Amino acid sequence: MTEIEKHQKTKSRKNWVFEGPPGVGKTSMAYAVAAKLDQPLFSFPIMNSQMDDSVFKFWLEQIPANAIVFMDDVQYPFPVKLSIASVLDFLDGTMAALHPGRLLIVNTNSQGYVKNVPAPLQRAGRLRETFHFSLATPSDAEAIFRQEYQGSLLDEQKLQELAHSFVAHYEGKQISHAAIESFLRNFTPHEAVKNVGSMTANGSLQR
């Protein structure tokens, strides 16, 4: 959040791209930004197969100024009926001028997403501000473990010991934050440590 807050305070209003694999916290961060800025967040289904210029304009006109427009699971190309001209009008054209203060957050699972969109969308103030979200590091895994079991009957020393053991067995894995959380909810702290070596990418046990 610190890096995002810095951009928000020191630069003019930007359109942000949150890029990373599923389950790494992109959507949670979008809602956290909305809460931090005290602005309403509106989900916008830009990838809907029925999306065209008129539908695009209609839905965006319903979203007030000083709100966050959240587009989830965005890919390129856009739906075939939606023109780049309409998207540009929303980003910094007439539509943007009529609804000042709106912040666009684009969520995408595609690596290097911005490099694949047409050049006009990459210009400053459009879709150039990208924040990368990665899979859980060992330190992330430890933090998730501690948070999940903080309210258990374990004392702090025992919780720390188990967290360190969990991380020792997690080393080398590439798993999302959400998958780790899902995995931990199925086990007691001791069971989680015992089974972490068999945890798969989706948070289930390898059979």
- Spell out the domains of the chain, with CATH numbers in brackets: 2-132 (3.40.50.300), 138-198 (no CATH)
Average pLDDT, rounded, for the chain:
86
What is the structure's pLDDT at 10?
46
What is the structure's pLDDT at 159?
94
What is the structure's pLDDT at 207?
54
- Answer whether 31's CB lies under 8 Å from 24's CB: no
Say whether the peptide bond before residue 77 is cis (omega within 30 degrees of 0).
yes
User: pLDDT class for 130, splitting at 50, 70, 90?
Assistant: confident
Q: Indicate whether 141 pLDDT > 60.
A: yes
Q: Indicate whether 54 pLDDT > 60.
A: yes
Top-confidence residue, 11 or 98: 98
What is the structure's pLDDT at 161?
95
DSSP result, 32-96: HHHHHHT--EEE--TT-TT--HHHHHHHHHTSPTT-EEEE-S--SSPPTTS-HHHHHHHHHSHHH
Q: Indicate whether 61 pLDDT > 50.
A: yes
**Encoding tokens for residue 179?**
């998958």
Per residue in 62-118, pLDDT tens? 999 889 999 998 888 888 789 989 998 888 887 788 778 888 999 998 887 777 787
What is the structure's pLDDT at 129?
83
**Encoding tokens for residue 148?**
């999940």
CA 120 to chain centre: 24
What's the whole-model pTM score? Answer: 0.76
Nearest alpha carbon to residue 182 among 151, 205, 158? 205
Q: Indicate whether 14 pLDDT > 80.
A: no
**Encoding tokens for residue 55?**
């539908």
Rounded to whole angstroms, the Cα distance separating 199 from 207 reads 10
How many Cβ atoms sit within 10 Å of the Cβ of residue 138? Answer: 14
SS3 190: helix
Rounded to whole angstroms, the Cα distance separating 98 from 90 reads 10
